[in-house]
Amino acid sequence: MKLSKRTSIATIAAAAAFFFAAGAAQAAATIINPAGTVALGVNDLGHLNTSVGSVTSNAGGITGLAYRFADGSFRDATAPGCLCEGWGVSVNGTTAGYANVAGGTAGLGLTSFASTATTATSSVFMTALSGLKVTHAYSPANNAPGALFKAVVTITNDTAAAVNNVKYVRVMDWDVPPTEFSEFVTIKGTATTTLLERSHNDGFASSNPLLNSGGIDPTTLNVDFTDNGPTDHGAYFRFNFGTIAAGASYTFTTFYGAAGTEADALAAIGAESIELYSLGQSSSGGQITGSPATFIFGFAGVGGTPVEPPIGVPEPGSLALAGLALAGLGFARRRKASAV
């Protein structure tokens, strides 16, 4: 249920409190990066949005993905209004398991969950095919730990036969402070990510990979777009990893994070060689500078090429211009030498 459309903050907070009280045995954790700037609330099945250890000031006692603002408060961009963040996996076109607090959870069993102050690891199995296992290992990113958490995702086939048509969905509803429920959303990298099967801006879509969804704005379906909005929307990505042989696995990386400006967010994306990403920015000028916070959601190891160059590495166009300049300089020197 979405706050801006159907209910009130008080109703959402009460419902969330009841949900988490009823599931008090649920393992979960809120983890914070060493810089103290980004927090993730990770549930036992690997999806976000939990009350356990919550640090946020704007999401009814829930933390999903939060950034520490200049006043020292953590403000969340996935938990306000709708706990719509999750993932799912399906195989053989018939069997699925998925986890999403608001969008539904089914077909998964918990193997283990463990956490520290900065890490969380969830291991689950598919209940209809117990040898199909998925692990999400969250930790600060290698090259941009001040802005990003990474989740190394491993899909393992410990059944006796190959599984095919292996699909993975990750979906989230951006609710970017300080203008929750009215944000600008960007998606980049769709054209070069070969394993991407479907993408759009519907953050309320099901995490079940066997279900199709078309986007809140149809023009966002399977294409890059910049600063779509402002409206209440998010990002949806579905990948197809093909066949995983018996005893084999497929590993890729998901990133969640935030930075104080768009430039800093893009620098973090470049530092981690991210192949596909979404940005969420407020409608109070956030789409211009990215301030006071640009929230980040991205992937690597999904058949693409890095979208943003690392800081200090010129873009291909700049390299071409530099090459022409050097060629011109060489020609000028040859002319001068021949004249002498």
Of all residues in the chain, the percent with pLDDT exceeding 90 is 83
Inter-CA distances, 135 with 56, 83, 118, Å? 26, 21, 17
Q: Pairing relation of β-strands 183-188 and 38-43?
A: unpaired
pLDDT of residue 181: 97
Q: Model confidence over 117-156: pLDDT tens digits?
A: 999 999 999 999 999 999 999 999 999 999 999 999 999 9
For residue 174, pLDDT beyond 50: yes
175: confidence class by pLDDT, cuts 50, 70, 90: very high
Residue type, 331: F
What percent of the chain clears pLDDT 70, i.e. is strictly above it?
84
Average pLDDT over the chain, rounded to an integer: 88
Q: What is the rounded average pLDDT of the residues 37-49?
A: 98
pLDDT at 173 over 90: yes
Provide the 3-class DSSP secondary structure of residue 250.
strand
Q: Tokens 């008080």 appear where?
A: 10
Count of C-beta atoms within a 10 Å radius of residue 61: 15
At 10, the pLDDT band (50, 70, 90 cuts) reads: very low
Domains of the chain: 3-300 (2.70.98)
Distance of CA 272 to the CA centre of its chain: 13
Indicate whether 190 pLDDT > 70: yes
pLDDT confidence of residue 213: 87
Confidence of residue 330 (pLDDT cuts 50, 70, 90): very low
Q: Which of 240, 233, 239, 280 is nearest to 256 (CA)?
A: 280
pTM value is: 0.86
Residue 332 has pLDDT above 80, yes or no: no
What local confidence, expressed as pLDDT, does residue 322 receive? 38
